[in-house]
Structures are given as C-alpha cells and as structure tokens.
Amino acid sequence: MALLWGRSKAVFGILSLITWALILVVTVKYVFIIMRADNRGEGGIFALTALVLQHLGKDSAYR
C-alpha cells in the first residue's frame, strides 16, 4: 500500500510540474508580446488591439 501511495504522489508531482511549466511559458510569451506592442509610444493591450485593427482593414467583418 505504501508503494502505491508513493507512486501516486510522484504522478501528481509530475503533473503539477508540467502544469506549472505550461502556465509559466504561456505567461512569459504573453508578457513579451504585450511589451513589444508599440503604437506610437503607447504600449499594452490597447496598443495591441489598435495594431490588430489597423492590419485587419476596413472591410473586415471583425471591425
């Protein structure tokens, strides 16, 4: 029984490590994308939105 409990702890530890690694990678990539977005000196999510809307064009259904 103790061997089974040790294995389940190891499995949960590995799953936790994978989950946290994915969260960290996605967060770091998101931060770098947002920080690089520049709309004439402005930064952040609104600058990113403005840049996306500029690239979509006026005939886009999303605009």
What residues form DSSP beta bridges with 39? 42
Which residues, 6 or more positions from 50, have their beta carbon under 8 angstroms from its beta carbon? 39, 42
> What pLDDT, on the 0 to 100 scale, is given for residue 62?
60
1 DSSP assignment: -
* pLDDT, position 60: 65
Asked if pLDDT for residue 1 goes beyond 60, the answer is: no
**Distance in Å from the first CA to the final CA of the chain:** 61
The gap from C-alpha 11 to its chain's centroid, in whole angstroms, comes to 25
User: 57 by DSSP, 3-state: which?
Assistant: coil
4-50 tens-digit pLDDT: 666 888 899 999 999 999 999 999 998 887 777 777 777 777 877 88
pTM of the model: 0.54
pLDDT of residue 42: 74
